[in-house]
Amino acid sequence: MECTVRLALKEDCKDILRMIRELAEYEKASEHIKITEEMLMEDGFTDNPSYRCLVAELPPGQTSKEGFSIVGHALFVFSYSSWKGRIVYLEDIYVMPEFRGHGIGKKFMKMVAKIGVESKCSAIQLAVLKWNDTAIDFYLRHGATDLTSGNGYQVFRFDEEATRQLALEEEK
Amino acid sequence: MECTVRLALKEDCKDILRMIRELAEYEKASEHIKITEEMLMEDGFTDNPSYRCLVAELPPGQTSKEGFSIVGHALFVFSYSSWKGRIVYLEDIYVMPEFRGHGIGKKFMKMVAKIGVESKCSAIQLAVLKWNDTAIDFYLRHGATDLTSGNGYQVFRFDEEATRQLALEEEK
């Protein structure tokens, strides 16, 4: 199966949103999704995009069971490490179940790495759910290190409410 | 002690690098530092900066024991969540030991949150070393949630070598 992995176009946002939802469902987190097709179009396709995205496209004429020709996505940002400088943060990497096992995930990783190197990034970082053994095996096989094991890192998030509270709180 | 927290200027990069090194020393990770003053100047002060930084400055005439007037920094990037859209990723928050306990960290958090809200970000995310109880208490007290606890996330990094390998690997 010869999938093409390419940079996403604005027209792909509908498919990207569909796959973000599929991935959230797989991660049992659908209720956390606030993103919309409009946000994806506005944030990713300006002169100074907030994120970048790759999609996997089936050859002309082929579709998934449900009739989709876009069957995977990899969404990433250019982030920054105060130790290393520019790095890639890979937010999502997703392939529809029907198309797994054909090396599409690998193609995504290679292309993200290539774009990262060309953009002078010196590392790729990502988060994965602890029970997602398939993904973890994949990352370890390709040379990734777990930063959260042992005495490593914990990741915290201030959600929208906590962020607003902080921003608004009176100076004492 | 009335510290001013303000956006960093290009001239602050020397101090920022010094504090990045102090923080890495505290985290027992000095050998991982590849960043230079030149990188910080180039990457943070263009039309489209790779990172943003705040610094804490002592009132005119005051300095640290070693003679520094810049005594803390908060380095962050505008990142992206595929669930929520634009978010802030807070890479560093550091206050020199001599000046801790005066609310400078809190000032940093408030200003990062304010900039985040103004920039339409809906969350602040950050990583902290598991043994850094002071920081963790601080984040929890201000409403943060631990994303890496229980069945949560693991964070992986492909270092420079692994990233290059991925980028260069022949297609099979």
- Give the torsion through C-alpha atoms of B61, B62, B66, B72, to 10 deg: -120
Exposed/middle/buried for B138, CB within 10 Å: 0-12, 13-18, 19+? middle
d(CA B20, CA B18): 6
Question: Is the CB of residue A126 less than 8 Å away from at least one CB of chain B?
Answer: yes
Contact residues, A window 67-106, toward B, CB-based 8 Å cutoff: 75, 77-86, 88-89, 91-92, 103
**In the structure, what pLDDT confidence band is assigned to residue B171 with cuts at 50, 70 and 90?**
low
**Closest residue in A to B118 (Cα–Cα):** A167
B139 is catalytic: yes
What is the tens place of the pLDDT at every residue in A33-85?
Answer: 999 999 999 999 999 999 999 999 999 999 999 999 999 999 999 999 999 99
Residue B153 bridge partners (DSSP): A129
Query: Which amino acid is located at B5 in the chain?
Result: V
Q: Do B32 and A83 touch (CB under 8 A)?
A: yes
CB A65 within 8 A of CB A79: no
Q: Do B165 and A143 touch (CB under 8 A)?
A: yes
What is the tens place of the pLDDT at every residue in B108-149?
Answer: 999 999 999 999 999 999 999 999 999 999 999 989 999 998
Q: Do A82 and B23 touch (CB under 8 A)?
A: yes
CB-based contacts of A22: which residues, under 8 Å, 6+ apart?
Answer: A94, A96
CA gyration radius, chain B: 17
**In the structure, what pLDDT confidence band is assigned to residue B150 with cuts at 50, 70 and 90?**
confident
d(CA A156, CA B135): 11
Question: Is the CB of residue A124 less than 8 Å away from at least one CB of chain B?
Answer: yes
Question: Is the CB of residue A1 less than 8 Å away from at least one CB of chain B?
Answer: no
CB A153 within 8 A of CB A147: yes
DSSP 3-state of B161: helix
Q: Do A82 and B131 touch (CB under 8 A)?
A: no
Average model confidence (pLDDT) across chain A: 94
d(CA A164, CA B117): 7
Q: Mean pLDDT, to the nearest integer, of B92-99?
A: 96
ipTM of the assembly? 0.94
Residues of chain A found within 8 Å of residue B32, distances taken between Cβ atoms: 83-84
Question: Is the CB of residue A13 less than 8 Å away from at least one CB of chain B?
Answer: no
Residues of chain B found within 8 Å of residue A92, distances taken between Cβ atoms: 82
Q: What percent of chain B has pLDDT over 70?
A: 98
Q: How many cross-chain Cβ pairs, A to B, lie less than 8 Å apart?
A: 266
Residue A31 has pLDDT above 60, yes or no: yes
Secondary structure letter of residue B166 according to DSSP = H
**Tell me, what's the pLDDT at B58?**
97
Residue B170 has pLDDT above 80, yes or no: no
Instruction: Report the 10 Å Cβ neighbour count for A9.
Output: 11
- List the strands of the sheet with B4-7, edge to edge: B4-7, B52-57, B70-81, B85-95, B124-129, A153-158, B145-146
Choose the closest CB to B162 out of A83, A143, A159: A143
Choose the closest CB to A144 out of B20, B121, B156: B156
